[in-house]
Amino acid sequence: MADTFNLGIGKFLVNLIDFLIDNYSGFFDIISSVIQSIVDFFLFLLFAINPYLMIILISILVWKTVNLKSVPFTAFFLVIILMMGLWDTSMITLSLIITSTLIALIFGIPFGIVKARSKLVSTLLDPLLDVMQTLPSLAYLIPAVLFFGIGEVPGVIATVIFAMPPAIKLTSLGIEQVSEELIEVGKAFGGTSWQILTKIELPTAVPSIMMGVNQAIMLSFSMVVIAGFIGSGGLGEVIISGIQRYSLAPALEAGIAVTFLAVIFDRITRNLVGSKI
C-alpha cells in the first residue's frame, strides 16, 4: 500500500537536469573540454616516460619520502604491473586520479579555508558534506552521466565530488585548531587577515591539509574503479568488464594493480604528512 505513493522526485530531477542541459549546454561543453584537456595532458606526460624510467623515478620518490627499505617492494609492485601487461592501463588510471585529485584540491582547500573562517558557510556546508560522505558511491555516477554522458569526463567529475569532502573538512579542521595565542600575536604585530592566513594559519594547518590530500587520493583510487561502469577507462573498466563477462583473471590482475598503486601512493602521501608534523 505504501508503495503506491510516489512523489516523482526522480522524474523531477531528471527533468531539471534536461532543462539545464538544453539551456546551458555550452557551459557543460566548456567544463567537459577543460577536464578532457587536463586528462590528455597528464596522459601525454605519463606515456612520454619509458616504463623502466618511471619505475626508477617512483622508486627514488619512495626512497626520499618513505625510506630505503620500501624501495624494493615499490619496484617489485611496479614490475609486476608491467609484467601483467597492465602498464598502459595503469597510466590511464593514474591520469584520471591525478586530474581528479588536483581538481578536488583546487576547490576543496579554498572551501575549507572559507568554512573555517565563516560560521554561516560552515553551517551551510556541514550537512552537505555529511550527505556527500554517506551517499553510496554508485549514486555519484547518475548526475555525472546525465550531464556529461559516458567516458573519462563523467568519471573524473564523479571522482572529484567523491574525493572533495575530506579535503574541505581537514583543511577547515587544521585552521580551526590553530591556537588563539598565535593569531593574537599576529594581530598584535599588525598582521592583516591575509597575512595571518598565509603566514600563521595555513603553515600551522599543513599536517591536517596533507592528510586531506592523502584521503582525497585514496578516495580517488576507489571511485575511479567504480567509474569503470560508465566507460571511464583504465583499470576500473578492466575490473568491471571482467566481472560482467565472468572473465575473472583479467579482473583480478587489474584489482592487484590498483591495490599496488594505491599502497605506493598512500605510503608516499602518508609520509609527506608525517614529515610536516
3 belongs to a structural domain: no
Q: Residue 85 in 3-state DSSP?
A: coil
26 belongs to a structural domain: yes
| Nine-digit cell string for 72 | 624494493
Alpha helices in the chain (DSSP H): 9-23, 25-48, 51-65, 70-83, 87-117, 119-134, 141-148, 152-176, 180-188, 193-196, 202-226, 234-244, 248-276
CATH of the domain at 103: 1.10.3720.10
In this prediction, residue 94 carries a pLDDT of 93
68 belongs to a structural domain: yes
Structural domain count, the chain: 1
In this prediction, residue 62 carries a pLDDT of 92
In this prediction, residue 58 carries a pLDDT of 94
How large is the angle between the packed helices 87-117 and 119-134, nearest 10 degrees?
150
In this prediction, residue 133 carries a pLDDT of 80
- Quick check: 274 pLDDT over 70? no
Among the ranges given (6-20, 63-77, 188-202), the one the predictor scored with the smallest mean pLDDT: 6-20
Looking at every residue in the chain, the average pLDDT score rounds to 87
Q: Are 96 and 224 in contact (CB under 8 A)?
A: yes
Domain that holds residue 238: 11-274
Mean pLDDT over 112-126 rounds to 90
6 belongs to a structural domain: no
Q: Residue 107 in 3-state DSSP?
A: helix
Q: Are 161 and 142 in contact (CB under 8 A)?
A: no
4 belongs to a structural domain: no
pLDDT tens-digit series, residues 214-267: 899 998 888 888 888 888 888 988 998 888 888 888 889 999 999 999 999 988
265 belongs to a structural domain: yes
DSSP 190: T
- Quick check: 151 pLDDT over 90? no
pLDDT tens-digit series, residues 54-85: 999 999 999 988 888 889 999 999 999 999 99
Q: How confident is the model at residue 277 (pLDDT cuts 50, 70, 90)?
A: very low
Q: How confident is the model at residue 36 (pLDDT cuts 50, 70, 90)?
A: very high
pTM for the full predicted model:
0.87
85-95 core/surface letters (b: 16 or more CB in 10 A; e: else): ebbebbbbbbb
Residue among 176, 80, 192, 161 at smallest CA distance from 122: 176
